[in-house]
Chains A and B, each alone.
Chain A
Amino acid sequence: MTTLPPTNDTIVAPATAWSPAPVGVIRLSGPRSLELAESLCGPLPAADRPASRMVRVSLDDDVSLPAEALIFPAPRSYTGQLLIELHLCGAPPLLREIASKLISAGARRALPGEFTARAFLHGKLDREQVWGVLSLIHADSAGQLRSAARTVGGARRSLHEELLDAASELLARVEAGIDFVDEEDVSFISPAALRDRCTTLAARAADALRERPGRDAAAVSLPHVALVGLPNAGKSTLFNALLGSQRAIVSPVVGTTRDVLSASITLNDVPVVLQDCAGLGHAPDEVELSAHHAAESAADLADVVIWVHDCTMPWSDVERAAWARIGADRCILALSQADRLPQPRLIPAEKPPIAADDQITVSARTGEGLTELRGVLKRRLSIRERTPQAENEPLVEFRAAILRILAQLADESRRFDAELVAMDLRSACEAFGKGWDRDATEALLGRIFTSFCIGK
């Protein structure tokens, strides 16, 4: 399939706000919203005006949770389509689980900005409003990528890659069996071998789904703020000042190392992981190399970077280059050691361009600017809601597709419908986030041509 999304199917996405008492929202938009929501929480009113009802969302045969269902009939909803929201407690794993169930039932995971796009297409937002939202889409998907990189730096990603690779390999064999039968006298895969491999794949996915995310994973989904700058810019002093009495040093997060010090704190009620990194910008020697890499990686993966610059020092080319690597859109500039500047204060003018709102003069010693810095952080972090890491959904979708193949192969008397198996194998590959496009086709053909001697 192409990357082009239809506009009249039913999409779903979970959302939580970064807030102290998180409320989780599952949003469904499209013609089948009511039916899909009812599959989880029983009958809902098919109202012609907005309605709400207290329901219980069943997660399992014997587990259900209280939730409020809000029904917004078309065209009087945000998207202009039938829209249903389930409001419940905001634990991300829970929201993921519910979204997965809705996807298994036939909803499609919404793309970034897709609710807004639909709202616009149905005349619910004007162009200016939409540009406002769309301008956040790139930022938001970049943020999600960073968060994903933190999460899946380890085991989960390699599992996804392994499953994708195994499914692609099977698909190549099945497709070769459709496209090249007239040219070679080889059998690319037998139904028995296909059944065995699918059984293994389904089991691998099921095992992974049973694993509970660890404590680290919970920390990973919080916004990350990294303190970055040249050596001796005052990062650690500022780190300690922001921590204040909250000296809760957390275990290293996936993808980072002991070289980055992380603390879980609340900044004006927003829970945040604050990270103190080694100095950037100079050529590291052997000993410092790992700390340097860890700092770069933490800066790359952070949602917001506080760039700490000693305001008594000039900006060097080295520092500018390091700054440019991160980019102003994710940075807050903290000009540190303000108490050491002679009066009247003359801030060196050659700093890199940044909005006036996003730079703060601070002094850890006097406490000057710390409140303002917290305020800027809060503003930068509260801009967007975020979709919780859709960690399990790919596995759920993948497994569902593989199970469909096994159902087809279950009956040994049945012919092997390669073209139908191929359809489900493609769905399985698509589960890991990328639509079926020309690149995927070329990769598939490449696999076939390097594995099999095909051709006249």
Chain B
Amino acid sequence: MLQRADVIVIGGGHAGAEAAWAAARTGAQTLLITFDAAAIGRMSCNPAIGGIGKGQMVREIDALGGLMGVVADETAIQFRMLNRSKGPAVWAPRAQSDREEYAAVVQARLRETPNLAIITGSVQELCVERPPSSQRASRIGAEHVITGVRLGDGRTLRAASVVVTSGTFLRALMHCGEARTAGGRIGEPAADGLSASLRSLGLELGRLKTGTPPRLARDSLDYSALEEQPPDEHPAPFSFLTERVTRPQVPCWITHTNPAVHELIRANLHRAPMYSGAIESRGPRYCPSIEDKVVRFADKERHQLFLEPEGLRSDRIYVNGISTSLPQDVQAQVVAKIRGLEQARVLQWGYAVEYDFVPPEQIDATLHTKRVSGLFLAGQINGTSGYEEAAGQGIVAGINAARWAAQRPPVVIRRDQAYIGVMIDDLVTRGVTEPYRMFTSRAEHRLHLRYDNADERLTPLGREIGLVDDHRWRRFAERSERVARLLERLEQERVEGRPIVQWLRRPEEDGSRFAELPMVAELAREADVWARAIVCVKYDGYIRRQERAIEALRRVETQPIPAALDYSTIPHLRREAVERLTAIRPMTLGQASRVSGIHPTDVSVLMVYLAADTPSTS
């Protein structure tokens, strides 16, 4: 057993798996510690990966050399490209996954990863010491430096970096009606020791809640009463490595709630913990429980429900749309009143879970805690929600934990590079008030942060970091070359006397009729290559406008702020600005400008002050 590692990752969810993968593959001796090795990669909620904003993030993780895209492709049972009716700039892939298979493939991939060992145990304490004087100048505000972790069985494991990805497990409490159980997921314990340890290191903790719907037995549904939602005819994979989707694709099913269901819920609201006062923490507005929907949108006569199979062989159906913490007897009646579910057997009841999180103003843009050197946080512990958001942080935390251990400079992903960058920047400059989920409207450079160009945005960076292997690097070069050739053909080939590009530039032309042409089809086979070419032609002006805006901002955006800067010595900086900036310690001028409470004039003052110390500014 390895007693001294470079990086320890606590937790094996989507953030932990990605962090361990990235750390080990960039050369760090890595230990992943989990309650239960069989739970690594488990989907605790809906059996799906991707979605709008999220699907782009999976592509980004993949472009960097991460794990999620590859596993999602290997285990998907229904692909759909969302927003297909709109321009390719906002297309987003989503897939239903085989839940059991997904976890199994994550575990297999991690087992065969060199430099990575998996340990079963529960972390009771983070071990720290006082920072050495050599670190004090670069890590202002760090009170401690991590040395390792102590497990429940008394063992101590030492490491230079520790990544905590505790998901919903910190001091977790599950609610189902009046019943309360300590634990982060059905049948799994809570992590109370770790929560106390974080608090004792001086980290401030907050509390959030989330919920999950009941799961039904597959053979107990009346499919004749349900509407079928078929998969895409031509599945478009997440990973740039996946050439073809071979797994059989299955449909999902749609049904609706009705006034009788709403009446029943209203009559039992006093038994829902959210309404009885048993839960006070904030849940996500974008993922309301069925109780919330019925109360807040009282005039709606029905709400749509998606019935999602959890796998090809699985007997479980996930009911997307009725997340609830009502008691079991009410859930049973609710289900029985829904069309097509009259005879359904419930295999797992819905529940709400409350958990501790660390308000993310306490980490920097590399997910490094400001208070404890060597301690990194990723996933729901930072107040986010969703597998993709967790994985996006996981890869960044894994990369930076490994680099910290190797004493190499950190890597920051910018807002203009990736949704991952938008997310992390939002978290560290503004904090959260509810579980944070990605929406494309959060990105000011939305036309640039697309599904089709994630590799151009991030694969070179992944290569530089050491996560992109030769195989992926070759695929990247080939794809770029295919896009170039396709563009060339679209210029040269004529239809009805005009080059295809001229047709494509017409607003009413979506281009699909050209994709089947013999001279184009061979190159247009892959949805992302085709999308890339269409975008290049149709949105050229808009994209150039956005790229110019990004370029214009880059120098100020990336202007570094010295870690040791004493804001109180800067003349003319307002006191409120001094306080906010001292608390947040932004790494760049761009980040500083987005800290809440900072005015444009504060940025001017800061810009002048910083430029004075770096004479080579013109």
Cβ B572 vs Cβ A5 within 8 A: no
Q: Given A123-B617, A419-B447, A134 and B605 touching (CB < 8 A)?
A: yes
Cβ A5 vs Cβ B556 within 8 A: yes
Cβ A4 vs Cβ B553 within 8 A: yes
Interface string of B263-306 (1 = CB under 8 A from A): 00000000000000000000011111000010011001001101
Q: Is A310 an interface residue (CB 8 A)?
A: no
CB distance from B121 to the nearest CB of A (A): 34
CB under 8 Å from chain A, chain B span 589-604:
589-590, 593-594, 596, 598-601, 603-604
**Chain A residues within 8 Å of B612, by CB:** 120, 127
**Chain B interface residue count, Cβ-Cβ cutoff 8 angstroms:** 72
Cβ B507 vs Cβ A411 within 8 A: yes
Q: Given A4-B553, A130-B608, A134-B572, A182 and B51 touching (CB < 8 A)?
A: yes
Cβ A141 vs Cβ B440 within 8 A: no
**Chain B residues within 8 Å of A180, by CB:** 52
**Chain A residues within 8 Å of B617, by CB:** 121-123
The answer for the CA separation of A121 and B615 in the assembled complex, in Å, is 9
Q: Which of A38-46, A320-328, A434-442 forms contacts with chain B?
A: A434-442
Interface string of A67-88 (1 = CB under 8 A from B): 0000000010000100000000
Is chain A's interface secondary structure helix, strand, loop, or mixed overall?
Answer: loop
Q: Is B446 an interface residue (CB 8 A)?
A: yes
CB under 8 Å from chain A, chain B span 502-527:
507-508, 510
The answer for the CA separation of A129 and B617 in the assembled complex, in Å, is 18
The answer for the CA separation of A137 and B602 in the assembled complex, in Å, is 10
Cβ B593 vs Cβ A2 within 8 A: yes
Cβ B593 vs Cβ A3 within 8 A: yes
Q: Which of A107-115, A205-213, A251-259, A357-365 forms contacts with chain B?
A: A107-115
Cβ B444 vs Cβ A175 within 8 A: no
CB distance from A418 to the nearest CB of B (A): 5
**Chain A residues within 8 Å of B213, by CB:** 456
Q: Is B44 an interface residue (CB 8 A)?
A: no
Cβ B508 vs Cβ A411 within 8 A: yes
**Chain A residues within 8 Å of B457, by CB:** none
Interface string of B560-586 (1 = CB under 8 A from A): 000000000001101000000000000
Cβ B572 vs Cβ A2 within 8 A: no
Cβ A111 vs Cβ B553 within 8 A: no
Contact of B572 among A6, A131, A415, A423 (CB under 8 A): A131
CB under 8 Å from chain A, chain B span 436-483:
439-442, 444, 446-447
**Chain B residues within 8 Å of A184, by CB:** 304
Q: Is B552 an interface residue (CB 8 A)?
A: yes
Cβ A114 vs Cβ B604 within 8 A: yes
Q: A6: nearest residue on chain B (CB-CB)?
A: B552
Q: B83: nearest residue on chain A (CB-CB)?
A: A181
The answer for the CA separation of A418 and B303 in the assembled complex, in Å, is 25
Cβ A117 vs Cβ B604 within 8 A: yes
CB under 8 Å from chain B, chain A span 124-164:
127, 130-131, 134-135, 137-138, 141
Cβ B608 vs Cβ A127 within 8 A: yes
Cβ B442 vs Cβ A80 within 8 A: no
Contact of B87 among A80, A130, A419 (CB under 8 A): A419
Interface string of B84-95 (1 = CB under 8 A from A): 011101100010
Give chain A's interface residue range (CB within 8 Å of chain B). Answer: 35 or more
Cβ B618 vs Cβ A123 within 8 A: yes
The answer for the CA separation of A185 and B306 in the assembled complex, in Å, is 11
Q: Given A131-B571, A455-B287, A179 and B439 touching (CB < 8 A)?
A: yes
The answer for the CA separation of A423 and B549 in the assembled complex, in Å, is 13
CB distance from B600 to the nearest CB of A (A): 5
**Chain B residues within 8 Å of A413, by CB:** 507-508
Q: Is B359 an interface residue (CB 8 A)?
A: no
Q: Which of A1, A414, A453, A454 has the most CB of B within 10 A?
A: A453
**Chain A residues within 8 Å of B439, by CB:** 175, 179, 445
**Chain A residues within 8 Å of B604, by CB:** 5, 111-114, 117, 134, 137
CB under 8 Å from chain B, chain A span 54-69:
none
Q: How many A-B residue pairs have CB under 8 A?
A: 181
Contact of B507 among A130, A181, A414, A446 (CB under 8 A): A414
Q: Is A8 an interface residue (CB 8 A)?
A: yes
Cβ B510 vs Cβ A415 within 8 A: yes
Q: Is A372 an interface residue (CB 8 A)?
A: no
The answer for the CA separation of A301 and B612 in the assembled complex, in Å, is 36
Cβ B542 vs Cβ A5 within 8 A: no
**Chain B residues within 8 Å of A9, by CB:** 552
The answer for the CA separation of A413 and B508 in the assembled complex, in Å, is 6
Q: A126: nearest residue on chain B (CB-CB)?
A: B612
Cβ A7 vs Cβ B555 within 8 A: yes
Q: B612: nearest residue on chain A (CB-CB)?
A: A127
CB distance from B64 to the nearest CB of A (A): 24
Q: Which of B286, B447, B617 has the most CB of A within 10 A?
A: B286
Cβ A112 vs Cβ B601 within 8 A: yes
Cβ B507 vs Cβ A121 within 8 A: no
Cβ B441 vs Cβ A445 within 8 A: yes
Cβ A455 vs Cβ B430 within 8 A: no
CB distance from A248 to the nearest CB of B (A): 37
**Chain B residues within 8 Å of A112, by CB:** 600-601, 604
Contact of B293 among A7, A450, A453 (CB under 8 A): A453
The answer for the CA separation of A248 and B51 in the assembled complex, in Å, is 68
Cβ A456 vs Cβ B440 within 8 A: no
Cβ A178 vs Cβ B286 within 8 A: no
Cβ A415 vs Cβ B594 within 8 A: no
Interface string of A414-447 (1 = CB under 8 A from B): 1111111011000000000001111101001110
Q: Is B320 an interface residue (CB 8 A)?
A: yes
**Chain B residues within 8 Å of A436, by CB:** 444
CB under 8 Å from chain A, chain B span 72-109:
80, 82-83, 85-87, 89-90, 94
Cβ A117 vs Cβ B608 within 8 A: yes
The answer for the CA separation of A368 and B542 in the assembled complex, in Å, is 67
The answer for the CA separation of A184 and B553 in the assembled complex, in Å, is 37
Contact of B589 among A4, A75, A455 (CB under 8 A): A4
Cβ A121 vs Cβ B601 within 8 A: no
Q: Which of A178, A414, A416, A420 has the most CB of B within 10 A?
A: A178
The answer for the CA separation of A130 and B571 in the assembled complex, in Å, is 11
Q: Which of A4, A113, A123, A127 has the most CB of B within 10 A?
A: A4
Q: Is B362 an interface residue (CB 8 A)?
A: no
Q: A434: nearest residue on chain B (CB-CB)?
A: B600
CB under 8 Å from chain B, chain A span 165-201:
175, 178-185
**Chain A residues within 8 Å of B539, by CB:** 420
Q: Given A123-B617, A179-B52, A453-B297, A415 and B608 touching (CB < 8 A)?
A: no
CB under 8 Å from chain B, chain A span 265-320:
none
CB distance from A286 to the nearest CB of B (A): 38
Contact of A178 among B83, B555, B557, B608 (CB under 8 A): B83
Cβ A121 vs Cβ B572 within 8 A: no
The answer for the CA separation of A180 and B306 in the assembled complex, in Å, is 14
**Chain B residues within 8 Å of A4, by CB:** 553, 556-557, 589-590, 593-594, 603
Cβ B82 vs Cβ A418 within 8 A: no
Cβ A456 vs Cβ B287 within 8 A: yes
**Chain A residues within 8 Å of B320, by CB:** 456
Q: Is B41 an interface residue (CB 8 A)?
A: no
CB distance from A424 to the nearest CB of B (A): 10
**Chain B residues within 8 Å of A414, by CB:** 507-508
The answer for the CA separation of A408 and B538 in the assembled complex, in Å, is 13
By a beta-carbon cutoff of 8 Å, the part of chain A in contact with chain B is 1-9, 75, 80, 111-114, 117, 120-123, 127, 130-131, 134-135, 137-138, 141, 175, 178-185, 408, 411, 413-420, 422-423, 435-439, 441, 444-446, 449-450, 453-456
7 further contact pairs, Cβ within 8 A, besides A2-B593, A4-B556, A422-B441: A4-B594, A8-B552, A114-B604, A134-B571, A415-B86, A439-B596, A456-B306
Chosen A-B contacts, 22 in total, with CB atoms closer than 8 Å, are A2-B594, A3-B598, A4-B603, A5-B600, A5-B604, A80-B618, A111-B601, A112-B604, A121-B618, A138-B572, A178-B86, A179-B53, A181-B52, A182-B82, A415-B87, A418-B87, A419-B86, A422-B441, A435-B600, A441-B441, A455-B284, A456-B321
4 nearest A-B residue pairs (beta carbon)? A6-B552, A414-B507, A4-B593, A453-B297
